[in-house]
Amino acid sequence: MPHLELSLRCSEAEQPRYERALADVGALAVTMLDADAETANEHAILEPGVGETPLWNTLELSALFPHDTDALLLLAALEAFDPALDWTRAAFRNVGDQDWERAWMDRYTPLRFGARTWIVPWNSELPDEAAHADAAVVRLDPGLAFGSGTHPTTALCLQWLDALAAEGALQDREVLDYGCGSGILALAALKLGAARAIGIDNDPQALLASADNADRNDVGARLQVSLPQDAPAGPYPVVVANILAAALDALAEPLAERVAPGGRITLSGILDGQQEDVLRRYRPWFESLAVAHEGDWVRIDGVRRRG
């Protein structure tokens, strides 16, 4: 199926605002490349190493929308969301699934998160460091669903899951991945020792991608995917929610109800500067709240209060 692609150049400082606006109006996927690279082969996907901050001056940002999206109406929605940004830079073209997936696979290389977790594309050989029995390897073909490990919000969650596994807090547990996208976080949790995972998303394409990726990683029998209204209520000992801050605010109470007393939660998709509002929203239900940063993005994790 063809899709409408919006592309534009922006500064590294502007990137979070552009990305937030694109996500708000329904982008199916967003990628960022180094626009200063001299050739296509020198492009690198925006994926800082652990503890690093991207230093690119100019980014080439691309977003996918359904093929029948009206470009003019889309621009109007984007301008209404953030009129201070220069949307006249945007260019549009029609692309097919194969074009998008091939570009992603050609640019993506194996990535490590924490001590054990590896995200490896299907067309890559397994790195020597990941070829040991203790490695938690997720082979991924995200298609058009968000979540490949190439975004700081996903990286922050993968690092948290890896650390949780090191504590023994994932072993034989049930994990809820709210806003599962490609299923990457649920799959990583299963590979790290979780007994079962529930993936929730309001995008049917994301549920299909999650289920397909689970089957390819031989954990399909341990992953259940569903729309929010059809999902089992829980509660769960581990909950991951990698969604935007506005959604985290709106879903605070129902998300808290899905975490078992003494259970762990991590919240991501939060821009630096939004964390105080999110912390204030979740304090009635959670303690030991901690904040982690990567670039312009923030992760918050905590423990569900007992009683």
Q: Do 173 and 68 have their domain in common?
A: no
Q: Do 208 and 87 have their domain in common?
A: no
* pLDDT confidence of residue 27: 86
Q: Do 86 and 165 have their domain in common?
A: no
Domain CATH code at residue 34: 3.30.70.120
Residue at which a domain ends, from 82, 103, 124: 103
Q: Do 184 and 89 have their domain in common?
A: no
Give mean pLDDT, residues 218-232: 94
Q: In sequence order, which ranges of the chain are alpha helices (DSSP H)?
A: 15-24, 71-81, 97-107, 152-166, 184-191, 204-216, 245-250, 252-257, 275-282
Percentages helix, strand, coil for the chain (3-state, rounded to 5) are 35, 30, 35
Q: Do 166 and 286 have their domain in common?
A: yes
Q: Do 96 and 197 have their domain in common?
A: no
Within a domain: 271: yes
Q: Do 49 and 156 have their domain in common?
A: no
Q: How many separate domains does the chain show?
A: 2
Within a domain: 234: yes
Residue 229's domain comprises: 147-304
Reported as a single tens digit per residue, the pLDDT across 4-54 is 889 888 887 888 889 889 988 988 877 777 655 443 333 333 333 333 334
Within a domain: 279: yes
Evaluate if residue 296 carries a pLDDT over 90: no
Which of 178, 220, 219 is CA-nearest to residue 199? 178
Residue at which a domain ends, from 45, 75, 103: 103
Within a domain: 127: no
**Alpha carbons 20 and 10: distance in angstroms, whole number:** 13
Evaluate if residue 101 carries a pLDDT over 60: no
Q: 39-53, 66-80, 186-200, 277-291: lowest mean pLDDT where?
A: 39-53
117 a known binding residue? no
Does the N-terminal peptide bond of residue 235 adopt cis geometry, omega within 30 degrees of 0? yes
Q: Do 217 and 298 have their domain in common?
A: yes
Within a domain: 160: yes
Within a domain: 108: no
Evaluate if residue 241 carries a pLDDT over 80: yes
Q: What percent of the chain has pLDDT over 70?
A: 84
Q: Do 155 and 283 have their domain in common?
A: yes
Within a domain: 109: no
Q: Do 238 and 171 have their domain in common?
A: yes
Residue at which a domain ends, from 103, 134, 159: 103
- Amino acid in position 197: A
The pTM score is: 0.70
Evaluate if residue 56 carries a pLDDT over 60: no
* pLDDT confidence of residue 223: 97
Q: Do 175 and 77 have their domain in common?
A: no
The pair phi, psi for residue 152, each rounded to 5°, is -55, -35
Q: Do 183 and 289 have their domain in common?
A: yes
Reported as a single tens digit per residue, the pLDDT across 244-284 is 888 899 999 999 999 999 999 999 988 888 999 999 999 99
Could you tell me the CA-to-CA distances from 66 to 58, 111, 140 in Å, in that order?
A: 27, 29, 22
Within a domain: 130: no
Domain CATH code at residue 174: 3.40.50.150
201 a known binding residue? yes
Mean pLDDT of the residues in the chain: 83
**Alpha carbons 25 and 226: distance in angstroms, whole number:** 22
